[in-house]
Amino acid sequence: MTLPTDPALHARRKAKERRFKTMSYAAILVAGVFLVFFFADILRQGLPALKQAEILVPIHFTQDILEYPESSLPPEYVPLVSRGVVRLFPNELHATPKLLGSTQERWVLATADVDQFLKGKPNRLKAKERRTAERLQSEGRLRLAWNIGFFTNGDSKLPEMAGVFAAAVGSVYVLLVTLAFSFPIGVMAAVYLEEFAPDNRLMQIIEVNINNLAAIPSILFGLLGLAIFIQFFGIPRSSSMVGGLTLGLMTLPVIIIATRAAIRAIPSAIREGAMALGATRWQVVWDHILPLALPGILTGTIIGLARAIGETAPLILVGMVAFIPQPAASFLEATSVLPAQIYTWASDSQRAFVERTAAGIVVLLVILLSMNALAIFLRTKYERKW
């Protein structure tokens, strides 16, 4: 048989293919440009937060500072030094009484306005304060130093003191609770549905509903969490326990769906082979199905958790969008989480919070990227081809 060779038709088909290819290429280019633009913008805004203004001040410890902590500094320095530093002087004097009467030179945090001034951003320094700042800078008493506080401090209303530590600890707690709640239940539910469930109308309804749940707007899980965990079980509001369980509800369908897909990908020859040797259903599942499905299950779980860690909407309802500067010590203590922290900063009126908001987003993105990288690693390392 010879193929019809009409050169005009051939050219048209080729042209069509080229057009299609170009369009696909343009699509990926557009997506890429958006992504690059977003990352570049966030980094441009967030990176300055890695540096923070510090000022070298002489601190004079006298009896007066117990009542007026500001009196420990020369008057011209007072408006430039962070309140977060000055307010701790009385405590320090109480703790080490032998400081009384001494003068110490120390690098301390400057106010957010000084910081923004040094970075050339809009600030509210008065003309006189700006002149003092310029003079101190030329004398080498004012510098931009690495902002370690951003990673070791909790939230603060003083932008120069604010950090992500407490929120990050809260996110870890919440994630642990979410994992402990949704992983066992999700995997067991999926195993039942795939390996044991009879194929009847009830099971079909359950299946459809699970798929539906995975697509429900997350705020509804917040309402559910509020009703069940806070009002019915009485778990304390704002705690990582209640936040974790709420996000657990949200993650559950994702894990069930991922696990079912992983189990379904295992060839039935494995099951039949094991059964032919006399293994029970339980042995088949425990010794063969689960180990083989594990990479797929873990990938799905990690992606579900990555979605949970970036979630804010349901957590507003269970009270986690709040000012909580100290890291929680237990699962029942009030805590904030990273996305909630970003949300709070984004709505603050003080301009110095803009760069911190962006830096918080960068931290969250880094965590998300590493979680997804872990998922890809697990998949490529342990996945088996049949």
Partner 1 sequence: MRGFCKVLLAAALFVASTGLAQARDQVKIVGSSTVFPFSSFVAEELGATGKFKTPVVESTGSGGGHKLFGAGMGENTPDIANSSRRMKRSEFERAEQNGVTDISEALIGFDGIVIAQNKDDAPLKLTLEQLALATIAEVPKDGKLVPNPYTSWDQISPDLPKRPIVIYGPPTSSGTRDAFEELVIEKVAHKLGSYEKGYKKVRQDSAYVPAGENDNLIVQKLAKDKNAVGIFGYSFLEENQDTIQAATIDGVTPSLDTIAQGTYPISRSLYFYVKNAHYDKIPGLKEYVELFMSERMIGDKGALKRIGLVPLPADVREKARQKVLNRVKLTKDELQ
Binding site for partner 1 (CB under 8 A): 83-84, 87-88, 90-91, 122, 124, 156-158, 233-238, 241, 319, 321-326, 332-334, 344, 346-351
- For residue 91, the minimal CB distance to partner 1 (Å) is 7
Provide the minimum distance between the beta carbon of 243 and partner 1 in the complex, in angstroms, as a whole number: 13
Measured CA to CA, the distance from residue 163 to residue 155 in angstroms comes to 5
Nearest of 249, 224, 179, 217 to residue 318 by alpha carbon: 224
Residues 350 and 112: their CA atoms lie apart, in Å, by 9
Which CB sits closer to partner 1, 221 or 229? 229
Write phi, then psi, for 145 (nearest 5 degrees): -115, 165
- Cα 321 from Cα 219, distance rounded (Å): 14
In the complex with partner 1, the residue whose CB is nearer, 51 or 237, is: 237
Handedness of CA 274, 384, 192, 178 (dihedral sign): positive
Which C-beta is closer to partner 1: that of 266 or that of 285?
Answer: 285
Distance CA 264, CA 271 (A): 11
Task: Tell me which residue of 356, 320, 340 sits closest to 119, measured CA to CA.
Answer: 356
State both tokens at 355: 């760069």
Closer residue to partner 1, CB minimum distance, 122 or 273: 122
Q: How far is the CB of 90 from partner 1 (least distance, A)?
A: 7
Give least dist CB 191 to partner 1, A.
12
Q: What distance in Å separates the CA atoms of residue 377 and residue 365, rounded to the nearest whole number? A: 18
Strand partners of residue 107: 56
CB of 166 or CB of 292, closer to partner 1: 166
Residue 356 Cβ vs partner 1, minimum distance, rounded to whole Å:
13
DSSP of 240-284, one letter per residue? Answer: HHHHHHHHHHHHHHHHHHHHHHHHHTS-HHHHHHHHHTT--HHHI
Shortest spacing between CB 322 and partner 1, in angstroms:
4
User: Is the Cβ of residue 207 or residue 348 nearer to partner 1 in the bound state?
Assistant: 348
Closest separation in Å from C-beta 300 to partner 1 = 22
Residue 69 · residue 57 · CB < 8 Å: no
Nearer to partner 1, 236 or 310 (CB): 236
